[in-house]
Amino acid sequence: MKYCHHCTAPLILRIPEGDDRERHCCNECNAIFYLNPKNVVGTLPVFEDRVLLCKRAIQPRLGKWTLPAGFMENGESSLDGAIRETREEAGAEIIVRADSLYTLFNLPSINQVYMFFRAELANLDFTPGYESEQVALFDEANIPWEEIAFPVVRSTLEHYFEDLPKQHFPVRMFDVHHGEDRQITTRLISHSHTFHKVD
Amino acid sequence: MKYCHHCTAPLILRIPEGDDRERHCCNECNAIFYLNPKNVVGTLPVFEDRVLLCKRAIQPRLGKWTLPAGFMENGESSLDGAIRETREEAGAEIIVRADSLYTLFNLPSINQVYMFFRAELANLDFTPGYESEQVALFDEANIPWEEIAFPVVRSTLEHYFEDLPKQHFPVRMFDVHHGEDRQITTRLISHSHTFHKVD
């Protein structure tokens, strides 16, 4: 980020008045450009005892399996974005229940927040979109665990198969840290309590 | 957004290859500038039966009461951002439990996502920060309901006092729509189920 979007003057990295950290500032037109984390939204689509995964046709992690997910766009809700990504990447129509929110991941090292929603496939007419090489259903025994694209996807799948026998799916939030040597650690930060089901 | 951040060429609004919506594109250096929703993160700090509110010293909603919250920054988690905002706006140190995540609001009309975490005040040494005129504790009967700054704050407070007698705080997600005539509607989209407490 070198030049002002509004007036083309060179941007200066400095702390604006009343702020406490450096921002890209324009000394000509006084614009300030803030950089903030982006949300990635997706679903865990299920049909009976199987979950839908997409084989990635694009980088990063080309050829690895993932849940349908992508950047949340302006003008949409996180759930609407997740439904859109499921349609775009897997050609899948889904049914979303009232307790759909499932996992949240903070990835401060790469300035992202992931949110996954549980969903049911409305039918089996799914088909790979532009970003997917293949779309398929897997039961727990056949999940390609060694070929999962991202730790957030692996973690969401692991918790899903852990929660499934109890039919209780607490909302969980995690912090994911990217260490040196490309080592990635995932830590549970917040979860709704474990309760006996009433309704 | 008129000129390229990288090379100062005029930006063109067009649909990039493989995309399905217009973006600000540079035809000189091929940069694409994406606009995505921003996260606002905050806390609901509690001391015994009272909640902490801040009287806003800045626009918008100057003089109205709010929960401490602000834009999530690059390099931090949503919860770390919420703790930072609580320190900055209310000078308050908080204790966060394992089921802290509480409310999420999608505001597609203004491209924001709000997240609030429940927290307990570590002590009563709070003091107004730069953006607050006053910081005070209120029990339910004395909440200045007519002077609350934002619908997301009102909704979070209302659900908190509804959940408090049951000591059960499900994670809830809402869509907030800004209609014409400045009318704002808040709709519950997802909530973790109501269960009897086990642990």
Give tens-digit pLDDT for B148-174: 999 999 999 999 999 999 999 999 999
The mean pLDDT of A5-20, rounded to a whole number, is: 95
Q: Which of B35, B74, B187 to mutate to test the interface with A (most CBs of A within 10 A)?
A: B74
Contact list in B for residue A166 (CB cut-off 8 A) is none
Verify whether the Cβ–Cβ distance B78 to A104 is below 8 Å. yes
Q: Do the chains contact at A5 and B5, CB–CB below 8 Å?
A: yes
Residue B16 has pLDDT above 80, yes or no: yes
Contact A173 B104 (CB under 8 A): no
pLDDT > 90 in chain B, percent: 89
What is the DSSP code (8-state) at residue B41?
Answer: E
pLDDT digits (tens, 9 = 90+) for B178-187: 988 778 999 9
What whole-number percentage of chain A has pLDDT above 70? Answer: 96
Q: Letter for the amino acid at B28? A: E
- The pLDDT value given to residue A141: 96
| Average pLDDT of the residues of chain B | 95
Would you place residue A126 in the very low, low, confident or very high pLDDT band (cuts 50, 70, 90)? Answer: very high
Cβ <8 Å between A106 and B78: yes
For residues B41-67, give the mean pLDDT: 97
CB-based contact B44:B30 (threshold 8 Å): no
B99–A4: do the CB atoms touch at under 8 Å? no
CA angle, corner B131, sides to B37 and B122, nearest 5?
95
* A106 to chain B: closest CA residue: B77
| Pick from A5, A72, A101: CB nearest B171 | A101
Residue of B nearest to A17 (CA): B130
Strands (E), A15-98: 23-26, 32-33, 38-47, 50-56, 65-66, 69-71, 94-95
pLDDT class of A125 with cuts at 50, 70, 90 = very high
Q: What is the DSSP string of A50-71?
A: EEEEEEESSSSSTT-EE-SEEE
Task: Show residues of chain B in contact with A194, CB under 8 Å.
Answer: 195, 198-199
Query: Confidence class of residue B94 from pLDDT cuts 50, 70 and 90?
Result: very high
Share of chain B above pLDDT 70, in %: 96
Cβ atoms of residues B43 and A190 within 8 Å: no
Q: What is the pLDDT of residues A151-166, one digit of tens each?
A: 999 999 999 999 999 9
Q: Residue B36 and residue A101: Cβ atoms within 8 Å?
A: no
Mean pLDDT of A31-40: 97
Cβ contact (<8 Å) for A39 and B37? yes
pLDDT at A194 over 70: no
CA A75/CA B116 separation, integer angstroms: 21
Mutation for B interface: A26, A74, A97, A111, most B CBs within 10 A: A74
Confidence of residue A197 (pLDDT cuts 50, 70, 90): very low
Closest chain A C-alpha to B69 CA, distance in angstroms: 15
Strand intervals (E) in A57-171: 65-66, 69-71, 94-95, 101-107, 112-121, 132-138
Under DSSP, the state recorded for B76 is S
